[in-house]
Chains A and B, each alone.
Chain A
Amino acid sequence: MSTETRPENLLSAEVRREIDHWLAKFPSSGRRSAVIPALHAVQDANDGYLTEDLMDAVADYIDMPRTAVYEVATFYTMFDLKPVGRHKVNICTNIACWLMGSDDIVSHCERRLGIGLGETTPDNRITLKIEEECLAACTGGPMMVVDGHYHTHLTPEKVDEILDKLE
């Protein structure tokens, strides 16, 4: 391990405190259980995305194989592995929302923002997350999650209103 990738040089004291907080919740044999909250903490402190070095730092910090951290980070869509905009918009396209017209919501957003799914607006304001699966709000479909906040029963007008409010 070179000096640059040592956890203490890549993870701020605050982030480490947050990871420690989660580590304390699991028995010492289950340190890797803290990997998801740890990645969240690291991602939040790094403009919303993870880098290889940061994932390595998390792996070394909680003592799990680096490959296993990559597996987790690539599995969950809530982790981004490339730079993202200031706001993340996740439109559910799973079956319930799809039946309720999520395709139209997606095309509306794409038109409105001038970007496709998986892209970020040139002003770095909004990233449209790619192929978001069920976000567990089927009663309110179509729905989307913007920066962690749920918005249900979407219509194009409602979407415009929400998007316009994002700085």
Chain B
Amino acid sequence: MNAKVDNATDTVTIEVDGVEIQARKGAMLIEATDNADIHVPRFCYHRKLSIAANCRMCLVDVEKAPKPLPACATPVADGMKVRTRSERALKAQKGVMEFLLINHPLDCPICDQGGECELQDLAMGYGRGVSRFSERKRVVRDENLGPLIATEMTRCIHCTRCVRFLDEVAGQPELGGMGRGEHMTISTYVERGVSSEMSGNIIDLCPVGALTSKPFRFSARAWEMLSHPAVSPHDCTGSNLQIHHLNGRVKRVVPREQEEINECWIADRDRFSYQGLYSGDRLTAPMVKRDGEWHEVDWETALGEAAECLRNTVREHGPDALGALISPSATVEEMYLLGRLVRGLGSRNIDARIRTGDFSDQIARPPFPASGLPLADIDRLDTVLVFGGNPRNDHPIINHRLRKATLNGARIHFVDPCSHDINYPVAGQYPTHPDDMVALLAAVAESLLEGDDAGFPDGLRELIGETPAGGLAGKLAAALAESDNPAILLGPMVEAHPRGAVLRSIAQIIARKARARVAILTDGANTAGAWLAGAVPHREAGGGAVDRPGLDARAMMEQPLRAYLLHALEPEQDCWDAAAARAALEQADSVVVMTTFLGEGMQRYADVLLPVGGFGETSGSFVSVEGRWQSFPGVAPPQGQGRPAWKVLRVLGNLLEVDGFDYHASDEITDEVRGLCGELQVQTEQPWQVPEYLRTQGQGLVRAGTAGIYAGDPLVRRAEALQATPLAREPDVIIGPGLARELELQDGSVAEVRQGDVAARAVVGIREGVAEGVVWMPSGSAAAAGLGPLIGPVTLTRA
């Protein structure tokens, strides 16, 4: 190969097994051979982790080197000649394998990893047929790493991938190599388990059966399961998953590599939430309530009654007396059909924005809410303002990328009502009362606009006049202004904020002035899809504005309607104002619920319950926060008589004689919606709207909190193993030590939380870093069910 490549200075030419290949200068041999599809056996090497070179399995024969060298730790050099299958290489590899097997049990048939074990595979390829080792093998005591990860540490070969992952990627070094020599074990030493929100990835990384999935354990063999793609149903990043299923049951969920989204990792929430599918309270048959009693009925009866309920409401009270709420994690197809059904009946009330506090800018916003910042670009940001969110809780994959950015030197500032346990060094966390969030952001804008009178949008200066920019605002403004590659992430707290519109609006001004990109991190897996499919009251399918918008999710609950149609949510847990939702549903004449689970609340307020498929049980599509359309098949039939929701909606459409509900497959619906959307691009700009005031002057304490990490939707709330993790067992309410003293509350004590007429008993935790006057209380917990707004007045008293 004499032809010179353009970037010759950046590459070197090496010869591997007689074939010349180009390799990146400074790359390790194994990277070059991997890129050239030449397989070198390995255990400890992983391209996303640091190099440990401790398993020695990748020994190869390098010309002129006195002995075989580890391919993972040998940098390429121009003209290097490498043989991976020479006698010397094979002998070295065989020798290493023999040593690795000295202490490893040879009982693959009883090991959960059997059939998908790297050690088993490589032992077949590189090992001897018979072990020459007849002495005693060592035995290692198993440690309880928590409800997600099962251990069999005798099988561990000390590759340290788990140790390096938790340290380098998860940012929570909880495992280490304790002891030394023959006594070395991989352990936490303190036996408090592993609690990272990304911990499940060590199951995939473990090349042997030492770390396996506890919920999946011994329930199927790798070779008998089928594997199909799926997309995360929990957050807007759209993490790519693969479902392994057997005989119509989802057995486990693993990552599907997608470098631009989740790389090769997934959050524990995406990995273990499938367990919720098999919780005890699945709705397995259609049910109708007659004289206060629930009866199982056939589909025809149930659908007939559902149609009758809706038709009667429209006939007696007019179409606007009907409202529909759909989970922001429902599929595009479900949203589209529900939207058309509701509009076909003449109603305009449909919404998926169940946790949104402020809708006043909905008309002005782009066709769908999205991030102007591709996820992969987060790694390269140098200054980030995370406003109103805890990415570690809300979007673990985004948090992982933010962490990568900090490892490259990025400085990340957090503004939220309370500070969070962030797993990387932060530039600052600034606990800010929700009432002060607007004024703070406005002050940041003012600082940036100083000396630029023309840049001030209408009315902003007059408003700011009352609230001088403080030191913090100046500091944040300077940080953004001085940055070459800044971004503002607006989290779920902005979505839930009663003045979210002003926050979004000001963020745009800051972004323009500081040349920052804005990422609006949306709720659920498919809020963007809801806007595109017409599951919002102000947009029709395709993203176009409607003439007369219907009621938004909040209004539908605050101005009670006569009938409701719900899909895939539990309003008493999931709605912005759960108390209002419960009251509205309980007063309604009829409530039709399409649901996977038989929730407690719906048994009280619903009239017809229609069982529909959950995660993995329906085909469909999600639109991620990047505007990425991702479709997936249904891999398991819904339990009992359950049906995919799009089919239920299709039949309802037919029964109610709405035109054009004759679909045979869900991809016909997908194509139809995509056709309506055309080539819509991600937009984040929105015009400035003059706010009436900046600072709300509240009295007393304010509750603030968005959905807990394992509490954001009905599926994850039922995932048993996740619910047993320390992250799910945080106190219901977090307050600062000052407030705790004032109220005479101790850490772990029980308090009465009251919002309006509703009160609940909640366990109190006391932490530093909660803004004054704030009671931090995430939604989705048993204690928070049925309470008032996510952000709103609250009283707290000793119980």
Contacts and interface: CB of A to CB of B under 8 A. Distances in A.
Contact of A68 (B173, B179, B180): B173
A166 to B, nearest CB: 28
A74 B178 contact: yes
A74 B180 contact: yes
Contacts of B523: none
Contacts of B177: 71
Nearest to A65: B173
A26 interface: no
Contact of A70 (B167, B180, B190): B190
B178 A71 contact: yes
Nearest to A74: B178
B145 to A, nearest CB: 13
B179 A67 contact: no
Contacts of A52: 190
Contacts of A70: 176, 178, 189-190
B188 A75 contact: no
Interface residues of A, number: 9
Interface string A48-81: 0000100000000000011110110011000000
Interface size class, chain B = 10 to 19
B180 A67 contact: no
A74 B189 contact: yes
A75 B179 contact: yes
A52 B192 CA distance: 12
A56 B378 CA distance: 33
B56 to A, nearest CB: 20
Given A65-B167, A67-B188, A67-B189, A74 B173 contact: no
Nearest to B177: A71
Interface string B160-189: 000000010000011111111000000011
Nearest to A2: B747
**Interface residue SS majority, chain B:** loop
A75 B179 CA distance: 4
**Interface residue SS majority, chain A:** helix
B714 to A, nearest CB: 36
A4 B176 CA distance: 24
Nearest to B182: A131
Contacts of A67: 167, 173-176, 188-189
Nearest to A81: B189
A71 B183 CA distance: 12
B175 to A, nearest CB: 7
Nearest to B174: A67
B740 to A, nearest CB: 14
Nearest to B190: A52
B180 A75 contact: yes
Nearest to B163: A67
A71 B180 CA distance: 9
A70 B173 CA distance: 11
Nearest to A64: B173
Contacts of A66: 173, 190
Contacts of A71: 176-178
Given A65-B167, A65-B173, A68-B173, A74 B179 contact: yes
A69 to B, nearest CB: 9
Interface string B472-514: 0000000000000000000000000000000000000000000
B212 to A, nearest CB: 22
Contacts of B174: 67
Contacts of B178: 70-71, 74-75
Interface in B171-219: 173-180, 188-190
B675 to A, nearest CB: 53
A70 B186 CA distance: 11
A88 B379 CA distance: 51
Interface string A27-63: 0000000000000000000000000100000000000
B251 to A, nearest CB: 32
Contacts of B173: 65-68
Nearest to A71: B176
Interface in A4-29: none
A120 B658 CA distance: 86
Contacts of A68: 173, 176
B330 to A, nearest CB: 41
A75 B181 CA distance: 9
Contacts of A74: 178-180, 189
Interface string B128-169: 000000000000000000000000000000000000000100
A75 B175 CA distance: 14
A75 B177 CA distance: 9
Interface in A71-125: 71, 74-75
Interface in B292-313: none
Nearest to B189: A70
Interface in B218-276: none
Contacts of B180: 74-75
A65 B167 CA distance: 9
A59 to B, nearest CB: 10
Nearest to A77: B180
A19 B177 CA distance: 25
A64 to B, nearest CB: 9
Contacts of B190: 52, 66, 70
A58 B11 CA distance: 45
Nearest to A52: B190
A15 B177 CA distance: 27
B52 to A, nearest CB: 14
B550 to A, nearest CB: 51
A91 to B, nearest CB: 18
B219 to A, nearest CB: 31
Task: Give me the 9 closest cross-chain CB pairs, A-B, nearest first.
Answer: A70-B189, A67-B176, A65-B173, A74-B178, A71-B176, A67-B173, A75-B180, A74-B179, A71-B177
Interface of A: 52, 65-68, 70-71, 74-75
Interface of B: 167, 173-180, 188-190
Given A66-B173, A67-B189, A70-B190, 9 more contacts: A65-B173, A66-B190, A67-B173, A67-B175, A70-B189, A74-B179, A74-B180, A74-B189, A75-B180
26 contacts: A52-B190, A65-B167, A65-B173, A66-B173, A66-B190, A67-B167, A67-B173, A67-B174, A67-B175, A67-B176, A67-B188, A68-B173, A68-B176, A70-B176, A70-B178, A70-B189, A70-B190, A71-B176, A71-B177, A71-B178, A74-B178, A74-B180, A74-B189, A75-B178, A75-B179, A75-B180
